[in-house]
Amino acid sequence: MKIILCSACDVPKLAEMNKYLIEDEKSDNHMHLVELEHRMSEFLDREYNAYLFIEEEKVVGYALVKYLPDGYYLRQFFIDRDFRRRHLGTAAFNELLKELNAESIIIDCLPWNEAGLSFWKSLGFKEAAITMKLKKS
C-alpha cells in the first residue's frame, strides 16, 4: 500500500470518490459532483490534506484529514467498492497513521452505517460522544 499527498489536480477524483462515500454511508448530503469538487477544493485550500491510497498502481481510496492541536480529525475515509473485503481499508488506515505520525485521531460515523461502525471498532475506535440533530420539515 502506497500513500500519496493530493494536490489540486486530484480534486475531480477525490470528489468522485466522495460521491460514492456519501452514497455508501447513506448520508443526507445531496450535493452534485460539481458541488463536491468545489467543496473539496475549498477543503484543500484551507485546513485539510487529502491522501490517495494506491495498491498495485491503482487508486483504491482516499482520506481527508485536518490537523488539530490534540491530534487529527479524519473527515472522510473511503475504500473503493471493488477493493473492499481484502483488508485494504486496514492497510490504508495503518499507512495513514504512519504518514501522519498520529497518536490521536477523531472520526465521525453515521449511526446507521453498520459496516462503517464495525470497521472502525475493529481498528480499536471507541465512542467518545454522541452528536444529535433535530431537523424540522
> What pLDDT shows up at residue 128?
86
Domain ranges of the chain: 2-122
In angstroms, the CA 77 to CA 106 distance is 12
pTM for this model (two decimals):
0.90
> What pLDDT shows up at residue 78?
94
Architecture of domain 2-122: 3-Layer(aba) Sandwich (3.40)
Cell of 11: 480534486
Closest CA to 63 of 25, 95, 101, 109: 95
Sheet of 58-68, strands arranged across: 2-5, 48-55, 58-68, 71-79, 105-107
For residue range 11-20, list pLDDT tens digits in order: 999 999 999 9
Other C-beta atoms lying within 10 Å of the C-beta of residue 123: 13
For residue range 84-121, list pLDDT tens digits in order: 888 999 999 999 999 999 888 999 988 888 888 999 99
Q: Which of 65-69, 77-81, 110-114 is the least confident region?
A: 110-114
